[in-house]
Amino acid sequence: MSDIPYSNGTNNGNGNANGNGVNGRGHSVLNGYRKSCWYEEEIEENLRWSFALNSILHTGATPFQDIALLDTKPFGKALVIDGKLQSAETDEFIYHECLVHPSLLHHPNPKSIFIMGGGEGSTARELLRHRTVEKVVMCDIDEEVVGFCKSYLIVNSEAFCDPRLELIINDARAELEHREEQYDVIIGDLADPIEGGPCYKLYTKSFYELIVKPRLSKEGIFVTQAGPAGIFSHTEVFSCIYNTLRQVFRYVVPYSAHIPSYADIWGWIMASDTPIELSADELDLRIKQRITGENRYLDGKTFSSASTLSKAVRKSMVNETHVYTEGTARFIYGHGHGHGSAYKLD
């Protein structure tokens, strides 16, 4: 796991323990010691995001990535992989409803789904709420992360036990390559493309063109998470993943939503050779007809809003020329396996 530095809380004379710039509002300081443990993530070179922890529930390292489960004060239990917060208890429903439901609702009759990644189980959970779904294949490369999530993320227990779910431990590219069947929807629930990470090759034009597209059924839809999509951060990978998919599919729809625990707007991109066009009312009707239970975040109007990007981002997306290849990969800020977050006891 990444380094876990502990400070001794000694006051350095500027009113803050260790000079870390945290003020005293809401933080009890007794004899130079604050009573909080903090998680800190470096989002950019000059920007860090931190929040208070109740405890560190688990840390470990697999052959592919570093993992941690944190009990955070503002966001509940949070899964961290390679120093990047992947999912938090209080707001993961925003990410997973946005990732899953638009593609399945736009498809006329989605029965078979393939998830690339998704070891946490939340994507499968949302998919299995759809009455039309008969088979979900979840392919994650990291068996230890899947086992870890099965043990700790109780909210997804039913999904892991659902007979419609087929769990495969393998590289998603290799698995799709050797499978002959086609899928109505393929979902990229992958870690962000970070330098040294295991996933960046699954964002390339060759992968989309040679592996993903041939595995889609006639009216099939591909959707992927596509990294930060904020007014400044969207140029890291969101815009070039969008442009790359435009080289492969006829219809490409980017959309985004604010996720509080990510400290940013987040992006997803749908792509198909069949038009992706449903009104808010049509989406609401399909939600009512197809989905068991009630969505907490996504409905027709919400998707209409999510797929209406701001003027600056729209302009940037239209003008993007970069195509994502293995030789011209772009990465979000950070490093794979052994770098990233820190846990500070203040």
Domain boundaries, the chain: 38-86, 91-319
CA dist., res. 40 & res. 105, Å (int): 37
Whether the CB-CB separation of 63 and 50 falls below 8 Å is answered with no
Whose tokens are 């979840």? That residue is: 138
Handedness of CA 128, 134, 139, 142 (dihedral sign): positive
Mean pLDDT of 273-280: 97
Our CA dihedral for 138, 204, 311, 295, rounded to 10 degrees, sits at 0
Nearest CA among 54, 96, 17 for reference residue 262? 96
Q: Which residues are CB-neighbours of 285 under 8 A, at least 6 positions away? A: none
Q: Which two tokens stand for residue 23?
A: 């003020």
Reduced to 3 states, what is the DSSP secondary structure of residue 104?
helix
Confidence of residue 283 (pLDDT cuts 50, 70, 90): very high
Residue 12 has pLDDT above 80, yes or no: no
Residue 334 has pLDDT above 50, yes or no: yes
CATH topology of domain 38-86: Spermidine Synthase; Chain: A, domain 2 (2.30.140)
- CA 87 to mean position of chain CA atoms: 7
pLDDT-wise least confident of 56-60, 266-270, 274-278, 303-307: 56-60
Distances in Å between the Cα of 180 and the Cα atoms of 176, 177, 211, 214, 216 are 8, 8, 11, 9, 11
Q: Would you tell me the crossing angle of helices 311-319 and 238-246 to the nearest 10 degrees?
A: 50
Residue 165 has pLDDT above 90, yes or no: yes
* pTM, full prediction: 0.87
CA dist., res. 225 & res. 256, Å (int): 10
Residue 33 has pLDDT above 80, yes or no: no
Whether the CB-CB separation of 94 and 257 falls below 8 Å is answered with yes
**Considering only the top CATH level, what class is 91-319?**
alpha beta
User: Percent of the chain beyond pLDDT 90?
Assistant: 72
Other C-beta atoms within 10 Å of 158: how many?
13
189 is catalytic: yes
Angle at 109 between CA 108 and CA 110, to 5 degrees: 115
Q: Phi and psi dihedrals of 46, rounded to 5?
A: -115, 20
State the pLDDT at residue 152: 86
Question: Phi-psi category of 226—alpha, beta or left, where left has phi over 0 and alpha has psi -120 to 50?
Answer: alpha
Distances in Å between the Cα of 11 and the Cα atoms of 18, 51, 52, 53 are 6, 20, 19, 21
State the pLDDT at residue 342: 45
184, 189, 264, 346: the catalytic one is 189
Mean pLDDT of 50-69: 91
Residue 13 has pLDDT above 90, yes or no: no
Q: Determine which helix (DSSP H) or strand (DSSP E) holds 290, and give its type and residue range.
A: helix 280-290
Whether the CB-CB separation of 229 and 255 falls below 8 Å is answered with no
State the pLDDT at residue 35: 58
CA dist., res. 284 & res. 79, Å (int): 31
